[in-house]
Amino acid sequence: MATTTIPEEMSNLDTYPPLFHHQNQTHNPNPENSSDDPIQDLDLFPVIDLQGLTLNPDEKQRLEVACKSWGFFRLVNHGIPTNLLTQLENQAKEIFSMSFESKRAATSNSPISHFSGTGILTPQGTALERGNQLINWVEGFNVPLGKLSQFKYQAPAFDSFSVLLQEYGNHLSRIARALFEAMVKNLDLDVVSSKPYLSEETGYVRVYRYPAKSDADSGLGMEEHTDSSVLSILHQSDGVSGLEILKDDKWQTVNPLPNSLIVNVGDMMQALSDDRFKSVTHRVKVNKERDRVSICYFVFPTGDVPIHSSSYKPFTYSDFRAQVDEDVKTIGFKVGLKRFRFTKDQH
């Protein structure tokens, strides 16, 4: 996808959350010549052809290897129209270019919530802080897909974005089902239906903006973490890199490539697979000169469906979510699956 210049409005300090006003945001006036242009690294990471999963046994084997060795892969031939992805990017930029106050006002009393400073939403949708240190250099919108059709917005941009996200969500639900069913077959799991594990009522999108930061080495857009989901499906836009995954104790940059998505195995899939599949640790670095926009879909089991594994005590996603919330509140970060792992004397 062609690299585009950041709109004038996005360099206006009024569009950023107040948390970021003390920093200088600078934008490259000629992004095509930026030293941060992505390297074409298609051969470095596993690539899965979604259409090939139904036709080619080798593709299913490649999926299994990717989930076991990496916990992550690029997805091609996913069937999402290019023009839909382009419209989503443009609409996201338009919304982020609104003033901070306008964004907050437009999402008040709506299913969409605005947050800043952390990828884990607090009740107020604002930053969690450790002393005077901001955790994450990010703002975004949390979008529960199942509730979008129930609300009309005062800002026309949000109405248009809501329609696009509903269409996008339908594609992502289709993709998640196809991938999950292929993974279940590879693992020979006794799963009759994917519905309880890929609940449409739990599916949501987060639209992220990582503001440019002149001192980019002083913090992260998103601290290192694993996703709590079954699967996470990411669209990286604009050709601005930042996503990094941890592989063999080394951070590796996952550069955006046209017409591909990034799929992460999440904690729930790792538990379902009995640790055969890996919930990948990842983080986001900020860019010194350009904002980065990304759109990620997360899907979870229904809150009461039991997760059974020989490695973990039986739990539900509701149990897991409650434990994560408690850990973030009391110790400041997510512990995750370790809280549910059997000890030696519990087997």
Q: Residues 18-27: pLDDT tens digits? A: 777 655 444 4
Cβ proximity of 136 and 122 under 8 Å? no
Place of tokens 């917005």: 153
Residue type, 98: M
Quick one: tokens of 231? 């699967």
Quick one: DSSP state of residue 125? S
| Average pLDDT by stretches of 10, the chain with 347 residues | 40 74 48 39 81 90 96 96 95 93 87 79 45 69 85 77 93 95 89 81 90 78 93 89 93 92 97 96 91 95 91 95 90 90 71
Cβ proximity of 148 and 164 under 8 Å? no
User: What pLDDT was estimated at residue 107?
Assistant: 86
CATH class of the domain at 8-346: mainly beta
Determine whether 306 is exposed, middle or buried from the number of CB atoms within 10 Å of its CB (0-12, 13-18, 19+).
exposed
Cβ proximity of 284 and 255 under 8 Å? no
User: What pLDDT was estimated at residue 129?
Assistant: 47
User: What pLDDT was estimated at residue 344?
Assistant: 63
User: What pLDDT was estimated at residue 43?
Assistant: 54
User: What pLDDT was estimated at residue 172?
Assistant: 96
| Sequence-ordered strand ranges (E) for the chain | 47-49, 72-76, 113-116, 129-130, 133-134, 139-144, 204-210, 222-225, 231-236, 243-247, 250-253, 261-265, 282-284, 292-299
Domain ranges within the chain, ordered by starting residue: 8-346
Q: How far is residue 111's CA from residue 63's CA, in Å, rounded to a whole number?
A: 35
Quick one: tokens of 179? 């991938």
Quick one: tokens of 342? 């059997």
